[in-house]
Amino acid sequence: MECISRDELHKIQGERLAATVKREYENVPVYRERMDAAGVKPEDIRSVEDLQYLPFMEKTDLRDYYPFGLLASPQEEIVRIHGSSGTTGKPIVSGYTRNDVDVWSEMMARTLTAAGATRGDIVQVTYGLGLFTGGFGAYQGADRIGAMVIPMSSGNTQRQIMMMKDLGATMLCCTPSYASYLGETIREMGIDPKKDLKLKAGCFGAEPWTEEMRQRIEQLLEIDACDIYGLTEIAGPGVAFECLEKNGMHINEDHVIAEIIDPTTGKQLPYGMHGELVFTTITKTGMPMMRYRTHDICTLTADKCACGRTLARMGRIVGRTDDMLVIRGVNVFPSQIESVLVGADGVAPHYMLIVDRVNSSDTLEVQVEMTEEMFGDTVAHIENVRKYITAQIKSVVGIASKVKLVAPKSIPRSEGKAKRVIDNRKL
Amino acid sequence: MFIRQISVFLENTPGALREMCELLGNGGVDLLALSVADTQNFGIIRIITSNEQIDKGLLLLRDHGYIAKVNHVICAGVPDRPLGLCELLALIEKANLSVEYMYSFMRASHEGEAALIMRLSNGEKAEKLFQMHDVRMFSQEEVDAL
Ligand SMILES: [Zn+2]
């Protein structure tokens, strides 16, 4: 299934989509109302191309119809509940039928297999086992493969390391920040991962991370670190997974359809463009999701991967729609600029974007702090550094900017979420 | 043979140069030569000081958050006669070299005063200001006599 031709895949997706939409329309009042309002009948939806006519779902819908308002199966068919605690108000919960648990296990089994797991592997799961999907997802996936699972759940780092060593764990499932912490602690304890441990790979997700962090984890633990993506609303971890090529996450497209849309207009965008990631489930029966807006920003590609899988891949999440700026009609995400700065040698990751409107045209100034590595005693040297950063930003973001080099530590630091944008446009 | 020079990054903000000079002055660093390379966005300050004060100056600047580096530059003697500099430049040109920057020492052997050459945004206004504040301005004759 993972190496199926794109045409065949689209055919299967179309059939499954039609069946799912019919189920949603017939069993969930909210879907029926919204489709009626949009003037779409279930019979109108026959192929993947028809997806664009369907209404969107939002996280707020899961709160509004909490807990069981979106179930498309009778409650007695629900065998499991998972959820996530929101930062405000009520949590969101999702109900799983036996089929849904099965589908999810399959997605996670593929995830682990893509990272190199086989029957003989020993998988240490340090995601929390509970309402949160991380722990159960990893457990079920490893169980499906027939690997040995150590369901450690989170916390107690010393104990985690002891079990990892004594049982000879070969795979690790946790958040990237915890993997990095584990690695640091292991090194501090004088444990040599090459000699004393058997770890070979890990699947890390549930929070955004960077390429730099991957390299750090791989060095600390001497493993392959693969990224995974998932969300409770769709299934849990394993919606998309990285293979050992580490070049984007393969989406389990026989179970979900991914779209990239313009967050402002809601219109579909072609593959390769940055936009909001939207998922539609096509095999779930308990709480299927129609065009669920993740508010995560990334790109999609359907180019064949070197691993042989034909499943489309999603790029790293570069930001959230709330952070998006529209400059001269182009969607710009501060994190794209951050990635340019982090990737350039000797450039500090502190920056400030100043957006303004001069003579009815938008301007973007990128303030970057001068560092010792960037500095030289000639104007030409510094101008070259400035031009290099400007060109890199242009190639990644797609619009021209004015890079201004400012004094070190002149850009305010903040404890929590740093303020990175000053928008002076009077709109 | 090379001499050591400190170069400093300055943002183009009012008072930035004065603040830096104040810091060095209060720290007892005596400036023998200084040049300001100025672009629309930033400035590079280049400083020559006595060899024993270089490290002190560098530390002082870095401690106060400046980006500063030590570079090695050539200090050439130019014959004090017409075309003296031109002959040197011709030599440089023939060797396919180019001048990236050039500036001169502040100290002139004239009653212990430093001679600083400057171009200000409004020359006439500056002249009146200096006259009002008894700032000594070298006349053409006086410069010639140095
Ligand atoms: Zn692949």
Residue B107 Ramachandran class (φ > 0 left, ψ -120 to 50 alpha, else beta): beta
pLDDT of the residue at A179: 94
Instruction: Name the residue with higher pLDDT: B136 or A66.
Output: A66
pLDDT of the residue at A418: 62
Q: Distance of CA B34 to CAs A35, A142, B42, B45, B129, Å? A: 74, 69, 16, 7, 23
A75 touches chain B (CB under 8 A): no
Cβ atoms of residues A209 and A82 within 8 Å = no
Chain A residues touching B19 at Cβ < 8 A: none
Alpha carbon distance A351, A365 (integer Å): 10
Quickly count: other Cβ atoms within 10 Å of residue A408's Cβ. 18
Q: Ligand 1 centre from A99 Cα, in Å?
A: 26
**Per residue in A331-352, pLDDT tens?**
888 888 888 888 888 888 788 9
Structural domain for B114, as ranges? 72-145
Whether residues B16 and B56 share a domain: the answer is yes
Alpha carbon distance A275, A238 (integer Å): 21
Place of tokens 């006519």: A53
Query: With a cut of 70, which residues of chain A have pLDDT below it?
Result: 85-89, 414-418, 427
pLDDT of the residue at A88: 61
Domain boundary among B70, B90, B113: B70
Sign of CA dihedral A229, A251, A107, A224: negative
E strands within A107-185?
122-125, 148-151, 171-174
Sign of CA dihedral A9, A11, A17, A19: negative
pLDDT of the residue at B144: 62
In the CATH scheme, what architecture does the domain A325-426 have? Answer: 2-Layer Sandwich (3.30)
B41–A372 CB contact, under 8 Å = no
Angle A225-A183-A243 from CA coordinates, rounded to 5°: 5
CB neighbours of A145 closer than 8 A, spacing ≥ 6?
A109, A112, A113, A117, A118, A119, A121
**Per residue in A232-241, pLDDT tens?**
999 999 999 9
Number of H helices, E strands in chain B: 5, 6
Question: How many structural domains does chain B have?
Answer: 2
- Nearest CB to A379; choose among B10, B37, B69: B37
pLDDT over 80 at B146, yes or no: no
Alpha carbon distance A325, A263 (integer Å): 11
Alpha carbon distance A12, A15 (integer Å): 5
A377 touches chain B (CB under 8 A): yes
pLDDT of the residue at A318: 83
Whether residues B83 and B53 share a domain: the answer is no
pLDDT over 80 at B135, yes or no: no
Mean pLDDT of B84-90: 83
Q: Is the ipTM of this complex over 0.90?
A: no
Percent pLDDT > 90 in chain B is: 29
Quickly count: other Cβ atoms within 10 Å of residue A254's Cβ. 19
Cβ atoms of residues B137 and B116 within 8 Å = no
pLDDT of the residue at B110: 53
Residues 389 through 418 of chain A touching chain B, CB cutoff 8 Å? 404-410
pLDDT of the residue at A238: 96
Alpha carbon distance A152, A164 (integer Å): 10
Q: Give the distance from residue A375's alpha carbon to the nearest chain B alpha carbon, in angstroms.
A: 7
**3-state DSSP assignment of residue A95:** strand
Whether residues B76 and B65 share a domain: the answer is no
Number of H helices, E strands in chain A: 11, 21
Q: Which CATH homologous superfamily contains domain A96-320?
A: ANL, N-terminal domain (3.40.50.12780)
**Per residue in B14-70, pLDDT tens?**
899 999 999 999 999 988 888 998 888 899 999 988 888 999 999 999 999 999 999
Percent composition of chain B: helix, strand, coil (DSSP 3-state, to 5):
35, 25, 40
Domain boundary among B41, B70, B99: B70
pLDDT over 80 at B107, yes or no: no
B7–A376 CB contact, under 8 Å = yes
Q: Give the distance from residue B40's alpha carbon to the nearest chain A alpha carbon, in angstroms.
A: 10
Q: Integer distance in angstroms from the first to the last C-alpha of chain A?
A: 49
B46 touches chain A (CB under 8 A): yes
A370–B9 CB contact, under 8 Å = yes
Per-domain residue ranges of chain A: 96-320, 325-426
Q: At B113, which CATH number?
A: 3.30.2130.10
Cβ atoms of residues B78 and B88 within 8 Å = yes
